[in-house]
Amino acid sequence: MPARTDNVTDPRLVASLLLMRRGQAYWARSLAELADDRFDEPSLLPGWSRRHLVAHVGFNARAVARLVEWARTGVENPMYASDTQRAEEIEFGATLPVEALRHLAAHAAVHLDVEWRDLPEAAWSHEVRTAQGRLVPASETVWIRTREVWIHAVDLRNGASVRDFPPELHDLLLDDLIRVWTRKGVATERSIVLEPVDRAETFVLDAVGQGTGRDPLVVRGTAADLVGWGTGRSARGVVAADGGAPPKAPTWL
Ligand code: ZN
């Protein structure tokens, strides 16, 4: 019988699941408020209409659910067979009628949530592989989906804004930016220092190679606006140390 509650006791994981579900609700609300005849319009992502975006977020839930299933059964089940398969699935999804896209979005999310609820506590630490090929504990799937639903709500261009995200999500995303840029070995010639004016902490990406002697690029703004800049979603409210606009941030995801 499916569990009615999560099998988790770790308070951090409980909080992660809550933040993910708030994000899922945020995304679902933005989508519910989007009229059928506006699905053909562009999303914020280059080359993607809102149809592509909705298809992607739905298929992403299915892909994340495969990882959770992998953790539960122990049988390897990758997110996607290949990058090509992932791209073809999105192209196909974008051709679906609006009703089918809404159906996909809703049902894939419910299915993913059921997979999480049915995951025994011990299996949350079972290792699975992300689409980028990293081995991570199954608990990481919650963050993978959290990022998707909140950020893609903004990409839907239907009123959602990084400024409306909860403050704890801003902190997690600033950490994530530094972590992803570091992992990708972003060829930064200058260190990047993110200085949120509404936080005590700064977030630093160290320069690599010959750039290590140069002045760092300091970018200031609220934590929310730094998230907007760092994720490439907005340039509002951020300034460089000289008071001018900072250059484009390195690519995040
Ligand atoms: Zn995505």
How far is ligand 1, taken at its centre, from the CA of residue 248, in Å? 20
How far is ligand 1, taken at its centre, from the CA of residue 151, in Å? 8
Percent of residues, the chain, with pLDDT higher than 90? 89
- According to the model, what pLDDT value does residue 186 have? 81
How far is ligand 1, taken at its centre, from the CA of residue 57, in Å? 6
**Banded model confidence at residue 210, pLDDT cuts 50, 70, 90:** low
**Residues contacting 109, CB < 8 A, separation 6+:** 24, 28, 58, 61
DSSP the chain: ---SS-----HHHHHHHHHHHHHHHHHHHHHHTS-GGGTTSB-SSTT-BHHHHHHHHHHHHHHHHHHHHHHHH-S---S-S-HHHHHHHHHHHTTS-HHHHHHHHHHHHHHHHHHHHTS-GGGGGSEEE-TTS-EEETTHHHHHHHHHHHHHHHHTTSS--GGGS-HHHHHHHHHHHHHHHHHHT---SS-EEEEETT-S--EEE---GGGGGSPPEEEEE-HHHHHHHHTTS--TT-EETTSSPPPPPPP--
Stretch 82-102: mean pLDDT: 97
Asked if pLDDT for residue 30 goes beyond 90, the answer is yes
- According to the model, what pLDDT value does residue 213 have? 67
Asked if pLDDT for residue 2 goes beyond 60, the answer is no
How far is ligand 1, taken at its centre, from the CA of residue 106, in Å? 16
> Is residue 37 packed enough to be buried (19+ CB in 10 Å), middle (13-18) or exposed (0-12)?
exposed
How far is ligand 1, taken at its centre, from the CA of residue 220, in Å? 27
How far is ligand 1, taken at its centre, from the CA of residue 47, in Å? 14
Asked if pLDDT for residue 1 goes beyond 70, the answer is no
How far is ligand 1, taken at its centre, from the CA of residue 147, in Å? 8
How far is ligand 1, taken at its centre, from the CA of residue 213, in Å? 35
How far is ligand 1, taken at its centre, from the CA of residue 212, in Å? 32
Read off the pLDDT of residues 40-57 as tens digits, 9 standing for 90 and up: 999 999 999 999 999 999
How far is ligand 1, taken at its centre, from the CA of residue 201, in Å? 28
How far is ligand 1, taken at its centre, from the CA of residue 211, in Å? 31
Read off the pLDDT of residues 176-186 as tens digits, 9 standing for 90 and up: 999 999 988 88
How far is ligand 1, taken at its centre, from the CA of residue 244, in Å? 31
How far is ligand 1, taken at its centre, from the CA of residue 152, in Å? 7
Q: In this predicted structure, which of 93-102, 104-113, 186-195, 213-222 has the lowest mean pLDDT?
A: 186-195
- According to the model, what pLDDT value does residue 159 have? 95
How far is ligand 1, taken at its centre, from the CA of residue 196, in Å? 25
